[in-house]
Structure 1
Amino acid sequence: MTDQTSSHRSDGTPSRRAPKPRKRRRGLKITLGILLVLLLAGGGTAYWMYKDLDDNITGVDIDKALGEDRPEKLPTTGQNLLVLGSDSRAGAENQELGGGGAVSGARSDTALVVHIPEGRTEAVAVSIPRDTLVTRPECVKSDGSAMASAERVMFNSVYSQVGPACVVKTVEKMSGIRIDHYLEINFAGFKDLVDAIGGVTVKVEEPIKDKASGLDLTAGTHKLDGTQSLAYVRTRHGIGDGSDLGRIGLQQQFLLALLTEIKSQDLLGSPTTTYKIANSATKSLTTDEGLASLTSLSEFARSMNGVDPSSMETIMLPVAYDKQDPNRVVAAEPQAGDLWKAIRKDGTIPESAKKSPATGG
């Protein structure tokens, strides 16, 4: 069973920002850790706000859905987190993330396997191109029905056809890596987050004009509002060869710029702004059951106090254009295998595993 639900093709790269001294970079911790302290310290109304935000987060029981047939956990204290950016072109919130037709057009546009090594001082994020052809394992939908295994299906079709638990299972099967946590951001909802923080600044190297997404930017620095940001992470026709690999680079750049902007906000000085940001963020968030509360998210964030988002290495899964269908890509070997092996062993990723034949390296 081959999925051809999208006519999209596939290209991308990382982005960095300069580190700042002391007061460790908090990234997501700013909206979680500091927020948690602010809300709990107030009591009364603060507790009501905390409960309100807590209820915004959607939880998915990944462990129950996957059972025992999974890779072994890392022999160290390292962690692996699957981050998905989901999207509904209808503009509606995803109704049911368990799978099947209930998602009503929602799909996964971005997938990152974030590896946090033992010691929590650095991290690497591996992007999986949405047009990668993979073998989807047998999975169970949210309604209890089974979806048979299938070869040569597009990676992003797994989310829309079966749901997030099957995406986790697919990643585990293709990589041999145990996914400890799952975190999903709804792009259609996160534009409210961007507006809440007053926009996100990005640097555009070349003009982008994409009629499909509506994005029209000249080369240079731009501060994007929520609507423009949504078009920015969706665009692909106006960059590079018009394939999906170019969009990966834009999405990586934007997510780092978003973290930078959140970090720069004076959240302690404005509880109202903090609540607006946190409300927008949590409404756009789906996690595994182990992270499905502000308390759990905050504890997880505190465990990563030493990780600097600005030094996170973002690389793309090495891929090559498929010989049968040049509009699709497949994992390139031995590079992809070497990459997953390094992560499984909590080791250093070889330079050869960071090069993708589909982009000329």
Structure 2
Amino acid sequence: MSEDDRTRAMRSPGDGRPLPPRPGDGPRSGGAPAYQVPSGGPGAPTHALPAASQIPEPPPPVQPRAGSRVYGKARSGSSPVKPLTPRDEPSPRGPRRRLSGKTILKIVAGLLVVLLVAAVGLFFWVGSRLTGIDGVLEDYAGRPADTPGTNWLLVGSDSRKGLSAAERKKLRTGQAVGQRTDSMMLLHIPETGDKPTLVSLPRDSAVTIPGKGRDKLNAAYNGGPQLLVRTVETVTGVHVDNYMEIGFAGFVDIVDAVGGVEINVRAAVDDPKAGLKLKKGTQVLTGAQALGYVRTRKGGDLPDYERTQRQRQFLGAVVKKAASPGVLINPFTSIPLAMSATDAVAVDPGTGVFDLLSLGLSMGDSPVTTVVPFGGNEAVPSGGTAVRWDRAKALALFDALKNDKPVPKNIVDTG
């Protein structure tokens, strides 16, 4: 027995079976395996170990293409491996999916539907908040017949309703009770496609008030909006289709809701009574400043005349700003504006949201602005003097509006 056999016998477990080969045991001479477990017998394993020649060799490593790069390793021919960044690492959520054109179209359509529903809801909400003045446009004997186009009577009253004592003091509105008209304008929106015409009616105009006699136009408002409308229709011959008035408090709120109004102040104004001090030039006015700007009588040789110019200038600017897309499509401005406007204005019962939109669009169309031509003064029975209209030019102006024609250029006030 050789030395190796004796060594194996000594390591035998005692039942005559030799132990499995240890690492390093090579094959015997002649190529036979150093050890092979018998196929049977007590304690024999259920599966025989395969011969070395039967063990499959591992597959050869995949050779990457030259110049390619894998995570964490540089393949042959490539540059040194750079550290991985979050952008290089695979996303745990998997590859990103790009939206198809059809999906994008569905999303856009859904957004449009939401906006449409919101707009319809806002439309009805605004309509429900409008305050109507009953009887303001009632028929009466001898009322002018309906004429082409649409005619608005726009009235700014000096009502202090809604203002606290502190606000009256801050805005310098005074403590007068009741209300009077602070400004009156006639807006004609033509059917012919021409530009609208905005005409100032000076409140101190000498007119004949039905049932009251000769007096200042402003005095007609003491009998209420209905008497004022009837007076305007009687002296102009123009049928009034819509009526709207606004007080001091609403005036300020609307201007502030749209973020102020840009006005070209043509001359410096310093009016402590109105609480106003403005430099000459283009500037953005707050609600309080705008109120003082349209009310002040300071400046110019004809204060009332220039006052009507400022009122038309301001009205055009504020309505144009309110009707601009930047205000209307922005809920942070359009909703406060809608709330302020509906709280501030009062209209005839037949005026709705579409009418107000038409008014806004017309004012944003740079209307022709003018004032009723006048010449001289006239004493009135109530005391004091009133402004006497130039009868021939005034008739030409109002005839143009009644017939839906452009106002003659020789009587247009371009100021």
Same fold per superposition (TM over 0.5): yes
Task: Establish whether residue 297 from structure 1 lines up as the match of residue 353 from structure 2.
Answer: yes
2:155 to 72, 84, 88: 84
1:58 to 120, 128, 131: 131
Q: Do the aligned residues in 1 keep the contact of 2:316 with 2:366 (CA within 8 Å)?
A: no
Q: Do the aligned residues in 2 keep the contact of 1:115 with 1:123 (CA within 8 Å)?
A: yes
Question: What does residue 342 of structure 2 align with?
Answer: 282
Question: What does residue 367 of structure 2 align with?
Answer: 312
What RMSD, in angstroms, separates the aligned Cα atoms of the two structures?
3.1
Give the aligned length.
289
Kindly tell me: are residues 268 and 224 of structure 1, through their superposed partners in 2, closer, same or farther at Cα, counting changes over 3 Å? closer
Cα distance in 2 for partners of 1:121, 1:348 equals 7
Shift in Å at residue 249 of structure 1?
0.9
2:235 alignment partner AA: M
1:124 alignment partner AA: T
Query: 5+ unaligned residues in a row in structure 2: which ranges?
Result: 1-112, 165-175
Task: Establish whether residue 150 from structure 1 lines up as the match of residue 213 from structure 2.
Answer: yes
CA deviation string 1:159-202 (max 9, x = no partner): 1x111111110011101111111111223322011111211111
Question: What does residue 41 of structure 1 align with?
Answer: 117
Shift in Å at residue 344 of structure 1?
1.6
* Identity percentage of aligned residues: 35
Cα distance in 1 for partners of 2:162, 2:360 equals 33
Question: What does residue 247 of structure 1 align with?
Answer: 307
Q: Secondary structure at the match of 2:411?
A: helix
CA deviation string 1:37-72 (max 9, x = no partner): 9887139xx85x666543432212346644343111
Q: TM-score, normalized by length of structure 1?
A: 0.71
Q: TM-score, normalized by length of structure 2?
A: 0.62
Kindly tell me: are residues 283 and 249 of structure 1, through their superposed partners in 2, closer, same or farther at Cα, counting changes over 3 Å? same
Q: Do the aligned residues in 1 keep the contact of 2:372 with 2:394 (CA within 8 Å)?
A: yes
Shift in Å at residue 287 of structure 1?
1.0
Structure 1 residues 1-361: aligned runs within 5 Å: 41-42=117-118, 47=121, 53-62=126-135, 65-74=138-147, 76=148, 78-88=149-159, 92=163, 104-138=177-211, 149-151=212-214, 153-159=215-221, 161-236=222-297, 238-241=298-301, 243-264=303-324, 266-267=326-327, 269-291=329-351, 296-298=352-354, 301=357, 307=362, 309-324=364-379, 327-354=385-412
Deviates more, 1:169-178 or 1:334-343: 334-343
1:226 alignment partner AA: G
Cα distance in 2 for partners of 1:196, 1:174 equals 36
Kindly tell me: are residues 175 and 266 of structure 1, through their superposed partners in 2, closer, same or farther at Cα, counting changes over 3 Å? same
Kindly tell me: are residues 300 and 54 of structure 1, through their superposed partners in 2, closer, same or farther at Cα, counting changes over 3 Å? closer
Q: Do the aligned residues in 1 keep the contact of 2:123 with 2:353 (CA within 8 Å)?
A: no
Cα distance in 2 for partners of 1:38, 1:162 equals 47
Q: Secondary structure at the match of 1:73?
A: coil
Question: What does residue 74 of structure 2 align with?
Answer: none
Cα distance in 2 for partners of 1:260, 1:308 equals 6
Kindly tell me: are residues 72 and 278 of structure 1, through their superposed partners in 2, closer, same or farther at Cα, counting changes over 3 Å? same
Shift in Å at residue 133 of structure 1?
1.2
Kindly tell me: are residues 38 and 314 of structure 1, through their superposed partners in 2, closer, same or farther at Cα, counting changes over 3 Å? farther
Kindly tell me: are residues 162 and 39 of structure 1, through their superposed partners in 2, closer, same or farther at Cα, counting changes over 3 Å? farther
Question: What does residue 29 of structure 1 align with?
Answer: none
Q: Secondary structure at the match of 1:221?
A: strand
Cα distance in 1 for partners of 2:377, 2:195 equals 33
Give 1 or 2 for the bigger CA radius of gyration.
2
Cα distance in 2 for partners of 1:174, 1:195 equals 36
Q: Do the aligned residues in 2 keep the contact of 1:114 with 1:124 (CA within 8 Å)?
A: yes
Q: Do the aligned residues in 1 keep the contact of 2:250 with 2:345 (CA within 8 Å)?
A: no
Cα distance in 1 for partners of 2:268, 2:136 equals 45
Kindly tell me: are residues 190 and 167 of structure 1, through their superposed partners in 2, closer, same or farther at Cα, counting changes over 3 Å? same
Q: Do the aligned residues in 1 keep the contact of 2:151 with 2:242 (CA within 8 Å)?
A: yes
Q: Do the aligned residues in 2 keep the contact of 1:199 with 1:226 (CA within 8 Å)?
A: yes
Shift in Å at residue 260 of structure 1?
3.2
